[in-house]
């Protein structure tokens, strides 16, 4: 195996990241972890902000624009072209089926996995017929399952943009990931919706670090900061998604928790209007790659044809 490289201010480790404030904050977390683990000076690591396709168009839902690759393809092109050494992603934004040229070798310790509601103290407290902004099929279905009277409309943009739309009266409420708000130093913004009420998106709250698959030197560098429980849980959630065969239009939620040598995986699939929800759970040993698919197939088997059509490849 190639020896791990040593980086200096004259030859810095270049970390590719999206330009949004949240993405930059997450890249800074990755940089700090790498500097701490390997003893790099702060000047030996530099961030390379890259404008992602998903950040260029904010007036349409992500699913209409080509899916999650809109957040990753520019960063991965920079890896291939040698413009950056590694890339940092929010794992929730990483497509389930990955190109073999790239490998996410590490994930940082996972943050709060829950959603927060902004504009009301709870979903139940929303006034009748309230207008809620979200572009997530999962959140839409889960909200309508709890409150069929709500009006749901698409909302895009970074956190500050979304919050400004609430302040301007365009929406009565919106939902955002607690992890993102915390990383932007907004820990008191909104009210937590517990996972028991709204199961989060697969990989929510996790940050991944990626390098070219053939760069063993960089892979060993980033693997050293990997948080194994987070990695195992997120990989299980992503395996569940892959087995479902859905896409960005598919309302699906998943959450795995580590229990010693085992994982506890919960999942649910819903109809677009939330009127049908099939949920289940499974406990299995870490490293059992078949268990997440078993849960996915069990849920699909119970689902109606209209829900199966949202998932079956």
Query: How far is Cα 136 from Cα 153, in angstroms, rounded to an integer?
Result: 10
Co-location of 78 and 217 in the same domain? yes
- In this predicted structure, what is the pLDDT of residue 1? 46
Number of domains in the chain: 3
In a domain, 186, yes or no: yes
Q: How far is CA 109 from CA 18, 48, 76, 129, in A?
A: 20, 23, 23, 38
In a domain, 6, yes or no: no
Total residues found in the chain within this entry: 313
Domain interval for residue 138: 115-193
Co-location of 187 and 302 in the same domain? no
Co-location of 138 and 159 in the same domain? yes
Q: Is residue 93 annotated as a catalytic residue, yes or no?
A: yes
In a domain, 269, yes or no: yes
Co-location of 210 and 187 in the same domain? no
Q: Are 225 and 37 in contact (CB under 8 A)?
A: yes
Co-location of 78 and 221 in the same domain? yes
Co-location of 86 and 126 in the same domain? no
Query: How far is Cα 248 from Cα 153, in angstroms, rounded to an integer?
Result: 16
In a domain, 96, yes or no: yes
Co-location of 100 and 120 in the same domain? no
Comparing C-alpha atoms, which of 232, 228, 239 is closest to residue 267?
239
Catalytic choice (93, 112, 115, 172): 93
List residues bridging with 255 in a β-sheet: 266
In a domain, 201, yes or no: no
- In this predicted structure, what is the pLDDT of residue 214? 92
The pTM of the full predicted model, rounded to 2 decimals, is: 0.93
Q: Report the CATH number at residue 143.
A: 3.40.190.10
Co-location of 80 and 119 in the same domain? no
Co-location of 73 and 187 in the same domain? no
In a domain, 3, yes or no: no
- In this predicted structure, what is the pLDDT of residue 4? 65
Co-location of 50 and 97 in the same domain? yes
Q: How far is CA 283 from CA 206, 266, 271, in A?
A: 21, 9, 25
DSSP string for 77-88: HHHHHTS-SEEE
Please report, in tens digits, the pLDDT of each residue of the chain (313 residues total). Answer: 456 677 998 999 999 999 999 999 999 999 999 999 999 999 999 999 998 766 655 555 555 555 557 778 899 999 999 999 999 999 998 999 888 999 999 999 999 999 999 999 999 999 999 999 999 999 999 999 999 999 999 998 889 999 999 999 999 999 999 999 999 999 999 999 999 999 999 999 999 999 999 999 999 999 999 999 999 999 999 999 999 997 778 999 999 999 999 999 999 999 999 999 999 999 999 999 999 999 999 999 999 999 999 987 5
Co-location of 261 and 292 in the same domain? yes
Q: Report the CATH number at residue 263.
A: 3.30.160.40
In a domain, 233, yes or no: no
Co-location of 185 and 221 in the same domain? no
In a domain, 162, yes or no: yes
């Amino acid at each position: 195996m190639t020896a791990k490289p040593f980086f200096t201010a004259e030859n810095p480790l270049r970390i590719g990241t999206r330009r949004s404030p949240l993405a930059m904050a997450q890249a800074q977390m990755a940089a700090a972890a790498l500097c701490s683990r390997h003893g790099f000076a702060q000047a030996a690591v530099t961030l390379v902000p890259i404008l992602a396709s998903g950040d260029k168009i904010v007036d349409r839902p992500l699913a209409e624009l080509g899916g999650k690759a809109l957040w990753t393809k520019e960063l991965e092109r920079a890896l291939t072209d040698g413009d950056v050494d590694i890339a940092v992603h929010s794992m929730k934004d990483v497509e389930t089926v990955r190109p073999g040229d790239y490998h996410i070798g590490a994930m940082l310790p996972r943050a709060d996995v829950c959603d927060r509601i902004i504009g009301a103290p709870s979903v139940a407290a929303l006034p009748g017929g309230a207008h809620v902004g979200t572009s997530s099929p999962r959140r839409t279905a889960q909200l309508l399952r709890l409150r069929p009277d709500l009006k749901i409309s698409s909302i895009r943009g970074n956190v500050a943009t979304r919050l400004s739309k609430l302040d301007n009266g365009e929406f009565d409420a919106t939902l955002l990931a607690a992890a993102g708000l915390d990383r932007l130093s907004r820990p008191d913004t909104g009210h937590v919706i517990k996972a028991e009420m709204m199961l989060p998106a697969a990989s929510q709250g996790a940050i991944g670090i990626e390098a070219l698959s053939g760069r063993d030197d960089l892979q060993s560098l980033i693997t050293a900061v990997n948080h194994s429980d987070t990695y195992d849980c997120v990989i299980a959630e992503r395996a569940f998604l892959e087995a479902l065969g859905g896409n960005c239009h598919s309302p699906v939620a998943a959450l795995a928790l580590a229990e010693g040598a085992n994982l506890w995986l919960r999942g649910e699939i819903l109809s677009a209007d939330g009127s049908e929800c099939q949920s289940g759970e499974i406990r299995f040993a870490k490293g059992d790659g078949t268990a997440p698919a078993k849960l996915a197939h069990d849920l699909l088997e119970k689902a109606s044809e209209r829900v199966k059509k949202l998932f079956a490849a």
